Amino acid sequence: MTAARRLIDSQTKLSNRFDCLLPEDFRVDGNREYLDKLVPAFVQPRNVIYDVGGGKNPAVGVERKAELGLRVIGVDIDGAELASAPAGSYDQTVCADITGYQGPGDGDLVICQALLEHVRDTSGALRAISSILKPGGRALIFVPSRNAVYARLNLLLPEALKRKILFTVFPDMRRDHGFRAFYDRCTPAGFVGMAAQHGLLTEDCRLYFKSDYFRFCFPLHAAWRLWMLVFRLFAGRQAAETFTLILRKQ
């Protein structure tokens, strides 16, 4: 282990200890809750499920898919990503830009995890998701907010520099991260409003105030966490770092 890696690991431990002092809702990992609790809770036997943007990392495993008799359709802009998914993950694949896709209206559930910050037209993507669902069908959408500090930095820094920093500090992210992000209207209020325009009723909007991008440097992490406490006092729901929407097609 290099000296730099040892330093990063020690700073990460300090950051994690600091987080233990914060209110409980500042310590919930939204992405993990989405994958470990929400998706399993909404997947029902014999569902028709569209995994939008899952690519090589489908949200429902092959064994669970077979156990529940699910039909899973993978939708992704990159055909190579879909082809790299574990064998048997998808019953059908659709290589398409979600912002212009017209669905068949047969979906019981749409799963869309950390994709919509990467599209230029989130309203078009929500329109497409609505077109995928049958009446009463649901969409589970997990999105990083454009109000997050890391999102603002992501929008400001050159792409090559961002990737170099990200993969140097977090080498394990190289496989699944580094795609260009636009954060088009990616806020809780923005998404709730757009969803309603496309016939999607918001049943729940879960807010999360935790991310890991600054944990490698304890002073930076601590300053960011203190900023989050203050920001939330003034911005309320809009201060969320990430959020999950549970939408139902009317």
Task: State yes or no: pLDDT of 183 exceeds 90.
Answer: yes
Q: What are phi and psi of 34, to 5 degrees?
A: -60, -50
Q: So what's the pLDDT on residue 1?
A: 64
Query: pLDDT by residue (tens digit) across 107-131?
Result: 999 999 999 999 999 999 999 999 9
Q: So what's the pLDDT on residue 166?
A: 64
Binned at pLDDT 50, 70 and 90, residue 212 comes out as confident
Identify the residue whose tokens are 């454009």: 146
Considering the domain boundaries, does residue 136 fall inside one? Answer: yes
Percent of the chain with pLDDT over 90: 80
Considering the domain boundaries, does residue 167 fall inside one? Answer: no
Identify the residue whose tokens are 């991260």: 177
Considering the domain boundaries, does residue 155 fall inside one? Answer: no
Q: Which own/partner contact pairs does 5-14 have at CB distance under 8 Å and 24+ positions apart? A: 8/169, 8/216, 11/215, 11/216, 11/217, 11/218, 11/221, 12/215, 12/216, 14/218, 14/221
Considering the domain boundaries, does residue 163 fall inside one? Answer: no
Q: So what's the pLDDT on residue 172?
A: 65
Average pLDDT value over all residues in the chain: 92
Identify the residue whose tokens are 């400001």: 156
Q: So what's the pLDDT on residue 93?
A: 98
Residue whose C-alpha is closest to residue 214's, from 25, 2, 30, 16: 16
**150 or 56, higher pLDDT:** 56
Considering the domain boundaries, does residue 132 fall inside one? Answer: yes
Query: pLDDT by residue (tens digit) across 17-51?
Result: 999 999 999 999 999 999 999 999 999 999 999 99
Considering the domain boundaries, does residue 74 fall inside one? Answer: yes
Q: Could you tell me the residue range of the domain that residue 206 belongs to?
A: 3-146+184-249
Identify the residue whose tokens are 């809702």: 25
For the chain, what is the domain count?
1
Binned at pLDDT 50, 70 and 90, residue 203 comes out as very high
Specify the CATH number for the domain of residue 207.
3.40.50.150
C-alpha distances out from residue 85 to 1, 58, 88, Å: 32, 7, 8
Considering the domain boundaries, does residue 141 fall inside one? Answer: yes
Task: State yes or no: pLDDT of 216 exceeds 90.
Answer: no
> Cβ contacts of residue 160 below 8 Å, gap of 6+?
none
Considering the domain boundaries, does residue 175 fall inside one? Answer: no
**Other beta carbons less than 10 A from residue 131's beta carbon:** 16
Q: So what's the pLDDT on residue 217?
A: 87
pTM of the prediction? 0.91
C-alpha torsion angle, residues 14, 160, 84, 29 (rounded to 10): 30
Task: State yes or no: pLDDT of 165 exceeds 80.
Answer: no
C-alpha distances out from residue 203 to 134, 207, 212, 245, Å: 16, 13, 28, 8
Structure tokens at 3: 């000296």
Residue whose C-alpha is closest to residue 204's, from 192, 190, 187, 186: 192
**150 or 39, higher pLDDT:** 39
